[in-house]
Structure 1
Amino acid sequence: MQLKLAGLEDIEDVLTLHRKYQIDTILEEDKKDGFVTTNFTREQLTKLIQEEQGLFIARHEEAVMAYVMAASWQYWSVWPIFARMIADLPKLTFAGHTLSTENSYQYGPVCVDKAYRGSGLLEAIFEFAREKMSHRYPVLVTFINQINTRSYRAHTQKLGLVVLAEFEFNNNHYLELAYDTSKSLSLHQSTHGQH
């Protein structure tokens, strides 16, 4: 399994994995195991790669088995849910910071092919992306739909993200979570006894 910063040549394979688990195209029986809400175009992924260096992938042979997106709030601001989160940032504090678009970034979506769930790949790609983004931002922020219980458990129990707030948007209930990017995942796990 190769972890890498995605290039333009990886976009098609990322979209193949994305469509498999995106809410509009996911198989009904896979929905209970987690899904991706936001849809992405080839153009948006091109911008994510070229302007943000924010698409991290796990590639096995010819296929992308996992991806993590991470980018500035400016990149995400065209989506209404992120505009709402940006407006709320100054009300939140985490790891000694009053949150802002300068000291935090939006992590996610993240997607792991179901063949690799529970294998440690989520932790590996999270740590790979965290390490790269930690040079730019002290705080990672994300949101999870409250009905996406698998994602919630993975992010709080395996990765150690902390719930900061709850909010509603378009009749959905979301949890907003954060992580201190100066802490490596292995350090976090050893101090909390979670493996």
Structure 2
Amino acid sequence: MPEKGYLVTTLALAKVTDIDEILALHARYQVDTISIEDKKDGFITTAFNREQLTHLIEQEQGLFIAKKDECIVAYVMAASWHFWSAWPMFAFMIKSLHELSYQGISLTIDNSYQYGPVCVDKSVRGQGVFEQLFEFSLAQMAGRFDVLVTFINKVNPRSFAAHTKKVKLDVLQEFEYNNNQYYELVCLTKR
């Protein structure tokens, strides 16, 4: 049962038929297409296409959505490192993964996964949708992985605050990639 004051939403694994609506939501908040006034409230750096989202849904079972009044108002992606390895940023993270540990667990491509991006439409922000969707995705991935790993650009303080304060991710390390500074965050999938 959602906490008092939270917006009740429908949470689900996305279907291929949801892709157009997910891509439209994504485009509103992706760094290359977001409006200037919305950028200060958070943004997504990675771009995606239909083929990638189809693979994420059908092969990874890692695209989760929240709906309000039958409209998709949020999504979160979560997938194996194998899926993410096609993007240079994730390939960079994979190279040093074996050097990291969290709560006594040495991280590997087999026991951890990459969470994110996450996108919540501004019409439902602050209403618990993010927290509900995060917990739903974490529970779905817990059967396959021990540790969630993600990163947040340091110029995206809204996302950092949401992930460290609302869903209690821990900062594992800071790193630089492509002249950008990032936080790498983690949590156990069973907590």
Q: Matches of 1:62 and 1:24 in 2, distance apart?
A: 27
- For normalisation by structure 1, the TM-score amounts to 0.92
Following superposition of structure 1 onto structure 2, how do residues 57-68 of structure 1 map, counting pairs within 5 Å?
57-68=65-76
Q: Which residue of 2 aligns with 1:31?
A: 39
Alpha-carbon RMSD: 0.7
Deviation of residue 134 (structure 1)? Answer: 0.3
Q: What is aligned with 2:22?
A: 14
Paired with 2:95 and 2:168, the residues of 1 have a C-alpha distance of 25
| Residues 1:130 and 2:138 aligned together | yes
Report the Cα distance in structure 1 between the residues aligned to 2:90 and 2:175, rounded to whole angstroms.
Answer: 12
Aligned residues: 183
1:150 aligns with 2:158: yes
% identity of equivalent residues? 58
Within 5 A, what are the aligned runs for 1:90-129?
90-129=98-137
CA distance in 2 between counterparts of 1:59 and 1:158 reads 20
Deviations 1:87-128 (A, max 9, x none): 111111012211000000000000000111111110000000
State the 4+ residue runs in structure 1 displaced beyond 3 angstroms: none
Q: C-alpha separation between the residues in 2 aligned to 1:138 and 1:38?
A: 24
**What stretches of structure 1 of length at least 5 have no aligned partner?**
184-195
The AA in structure 1 aligned to 2:10 is Q
How far residue 81 of structure 1 moved from its aligned partner, in angstroms, is 0.4
Q: Distance in 2 between matches of 1:22 and 1:61?
A: 24
Q: Which amino acid aligns with 1:131?
A: A
Tell me the distance in 1 between the aligned counterparts of 2:155 and 2:70. 32
Distance in 2 (CA, whole Å) between partners of 1:78 and 1:102 is: 17
